């Protein structure tokens, strides 16, 4: 059975995008230490699949296949393009990014089937709407949050549509010189 991990940047006040839907603030504090971590993280999931909602997919496909992506971060760009990707959308007609499958049917059923299959793991990046749905359904095995030292004042949270409480347990953390802190949580066992 594959594990489903969420990997997301979050502002100090809890938003994954600002009030206009922008998340470029999450990439403003690059340095050698952070870039090395990002490259290692991107190369660690060989054979896994990336899961996106339509909005995050549109942002990713607009950057990662471009020459600018390969110039600014070649290791991450190579992995982002090589990995299998799934985009969940009821409005898209086709997904043009290489190695991408478009899924237009039920998100939860599809993710359950993917988790039950053999593989190296599933990772959701961005995609707040599907994070909320999968968290509510109890399908997420691990949350990896990059806490960015910025206050946005407004935006969207990853759990804005979750209606029931669930507890998590911190399993690791790592602070970086640029101010970012990566904290990993797993859902706690039901009490």
Please state the domain extents for the chain: 4-160
CA distance 77 to 39: 9
State the DSSP string of the chain.
---EEEEEEEETTS-SEETTS--GGGGS---HHHHHHHHHHHHTTTT-EEEEEHHHHHHHHHHTTSHHHHHH-HHHHHHHHHSEEEEE-SS-S---STTEEEE-S-HHHHHHHHHHS-SS-EEEES-HHHHHHHHHTT---EEEEEEES---SSEE-TTTT--S---EEEEEEEE-TTS-EEEEEEEPPP-
102: nearest Cα among 90, 112, 91, 88 = 88
SS3 readout for 75-122:
HHHHHHHHCEEEEECCCCCCCCCCCEEEECCCHHHHHHHHHHCCCCCE
Q: Would you state the pLDDT for residue 127? A: 87
| Residue 189 pLDDT exceeds 90 | no
- pLDDT tens for 31-86 read 889 888 877 776 555 568 999 999 999 989 999 999 999 998 888 889 899 999 99
4-160 in CATH: which number? 3.40.430.10
| Residue 101 pLDDT exceeds 70 | yes
- pLDDT tens for 151-160 read 999 999 999 9
**Token reading at 183:** 């904290």
CB atoms within 10 A of CB 13: 12
Indicate the pTM of the whole model: 0.90
Q: Is 148:29 a contact under the CB 8 Å cutoff?
A: yes
The H helix count followed by the E strand count for the chain is 6, 10
């Amino acid at each position: 059975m594959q594990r489903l991990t969420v990997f997301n940047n979050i502002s100090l006040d809890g938003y994954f995008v600002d009030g206009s839907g922008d998340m470029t603030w999450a990439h403003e504090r690059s340095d050698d230490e952070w870039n090395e971590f990002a490259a290692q993280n991107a190369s660690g999931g060989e054979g896994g699949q990336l899961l996106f909602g339509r909005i995050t997919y549109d942002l990713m496909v607009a950057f990662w296949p471009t020459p600018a992506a390969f110039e600014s971060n070649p290791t991450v760009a190579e992995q982002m393009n090589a990995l299998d990707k799934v985009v969940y959308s009821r409005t898209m007609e086709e997904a043009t990014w290489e190695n991408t499958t478009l899924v237009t049917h039920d998100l939860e059923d599809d993710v359950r089937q993917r988790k039950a299959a053999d593989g190296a793991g599933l990772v959701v990046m961005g995609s707040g709407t599907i994070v909320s749905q999968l968290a509510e359904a109890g399908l997420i095995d691990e949350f990896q949050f990059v806490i960015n030292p910025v206050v946005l004042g407004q935006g969207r949270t990853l759990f804005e549509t979750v209606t029931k409480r669930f507890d998590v347990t911190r399993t690791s953390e790592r602070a970086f010189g640029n101010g970012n802190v990566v904290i990993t949580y797993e859902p706690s066992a039901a009490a």
